């Protein structure tokens, strides 16, 4: 453990939870359904420890779920969870910043945003200068997102 990401171990674990037996097909059965930042370091299916940026993936065919690290999600499944984590880092550093399109779509799909908030975020995505009321709204949404990704906070629908 500790020295990187064991692709073979990850692949075997994912294949065991997939319907397809061919890796290239099997990996397409999976989607990203949740992300969180662990309070306690976790272990990836590849054996890598520690992981903090946890991605929950679900298989659309078998309905199995698995938790793997952000790095493996991107590298081996080709899902861009890294872009969502990048947005989270940005707003944590500066609460006045905006999320990015990947994060807005993801959190909307997860049921975290109201339709109004979803529209608001789209309208203000690239805007650096906001009215005081708009700034307050953006910051409130950002805080909601940050608390949602902390390990115990996220209660999105399945």
Binding residues for Zn ion, rule: CB under 5 A, are 5, 44, 46, 48, 69, 72
Nearer to Zn ion, 48 or 138 (CB): 48
- Residue 112 beta carbon to Zn ion: minimum distance, rounded to whole angstroms: 26
Return the number of the residue (47 or 153) whose C-beta is nearest Zn ion.
47
In the complex, the smallest distance separating the C-beta of residue 81 from Zn ion, rounded to whole angstroms, is 12
Considering the complex, state which of residue 46 and residue 91 has its C-beta at the smaller distance from Zn ion.
46
Q: Which is nearer to Zn ion, 55 or 121 (CB)?
A: 55
Minimum Å gap between C-beta 46 and Zn ion is 3
Q: What is the distance between the alpha carbons of residues 42 and 37, in angstroms, rounded to a whole number? A: 10
The per-residue b/e assignment along 70-82, b for 16 or more CB within 10 angstroms, e otherwise, is bbbbbebbebebb
Contacts of 94-103 with C-beta under 8 Å, sequence gap 24+, read 95/139, 95/142, 95/143, 96/135, 96/138, 96/139, 97/142, 98/124, 98/125, 98/126, 98/127, 98/138, 99/125, 99/141, 99/142, 99/145, 100/125, 101/125, 103/145
Min CB(140)–Zn ion separation in Å:
34
Nearer to Zn ion, 5 or 138 (CB): 5
* CB of 65 vs Zn ion, minimal distance in Å: 16
């Amino acid at each position: 453990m500790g020295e990187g990401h064991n692709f073979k171990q990850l692949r075997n674990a994912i294949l065991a939870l997939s319907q397809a037996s061919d890796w290239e097909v099997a990996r397409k059965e999976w989607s990203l359904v949740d992300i969180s930042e662990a309070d306690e370091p976790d272990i990836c299916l590849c054996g890598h420890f520690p992981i903090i940026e946890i991605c929950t993936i679900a298989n659309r065919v078998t309905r199995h779920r698995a938790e793997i690290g952000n790095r493996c999600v991107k590298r081996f499944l080709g899902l861009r969870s890294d872009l969502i984590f990048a947005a989270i880092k940005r707003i944590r550093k500066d609460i006045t910043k905006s999320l990015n399109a990947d994060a807005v779509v993801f959190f909307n799909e997860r049921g975290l945003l109201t339709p109004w908030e979803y529209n608001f975020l789209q309208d203000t995505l690239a805007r650096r200068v906001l009215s005081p009321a708009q700034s307050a709204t953006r910051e409130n949404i950002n805080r909601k997102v940050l608390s949602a990704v902390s390990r115990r906070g996220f209660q999105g629908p399945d």
